[in-house]
């Protein structure tokens, strides 16, 4: 059970705990790069992934991408520390979760499997 002192608990409050943020440099403010894929580099034969999905009538990835593009991810990105391995982008993680839920997948293992094999996730 999270307590008000937990860093994750502070993510969902309207005003983040300033004491947690003041003692460290955030990933977003330091220019730290998040790990996020680039779908424009994926091809199936000579067809781009985007074109293949559109030709196949698969629209869910585009709906999720449009929804995520409308969100402000800076409050989440500012919470990441600028040390250690580059983190996955919050937008990418939320996209995986939303796409998985749309397909009836909610467990972490199933989401990982979906991310490896489903073209819409890529």
Please write the tens of the pLDDT for every residue from 62-101: 999 999 999 998 888 888 877 888 888 899 999 999 999 9
Other C-beta atoms within 10 Å of 80: how many? 20
Which tens digits make up the pLDDT trace of 7-37? Answer: 665 656 655 444 444 444 555 555 667 888 7
d(CA 78, CA 81): 8
d(CA 63, CA 69): 10
According to the model, what pLDDT value does residue 93 have?
A: 92
Which element (helix H / strand E) includes 22?
Answer: helix 18-22
d(CA 108, CA 57): 27
Is 0.95 topped by the overall pTM? no
Predicted confidence (pLDDT) at residue 58 exceeds the cutoff of 90: yes
Domain boundary assignment for the chain: 56-75+87-122
Q: Which residue has the higher pLDDT, 120 or 16?
A: 120
Predicted confidence (pLDDT) at residue 106 exceeds the cutoff of 70: yes
According to the model, what pLDDT value does residue 20 have?
A: 45
């Amino acid at each position: 059970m999270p307590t008000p002192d937990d860093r994750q608990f502070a993510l969902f409050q309207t005003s983040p705990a300033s004491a947690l943020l003041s003692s460290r440099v955030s990933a977003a403010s330091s220019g730290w790069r998040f790990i996020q894929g680039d779908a424009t580099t994926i091809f199936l034969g000579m067809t781009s992934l985007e074109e293949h999905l559109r030709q196949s009538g698969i629209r869910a990835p585009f709906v999720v991408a449009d929804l995520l593009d409308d969100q402000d991810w800076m409050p989440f990105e500012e919470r990441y520390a600028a040390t250690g391995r580059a983190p996955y982008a919050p937008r990418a993680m939320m996209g995986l979760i939303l796409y998985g839920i749309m397909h009836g997948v909610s467990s972490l293992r199933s989401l990982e499997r979906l991310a490896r094999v489903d073209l819409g996730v890529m």
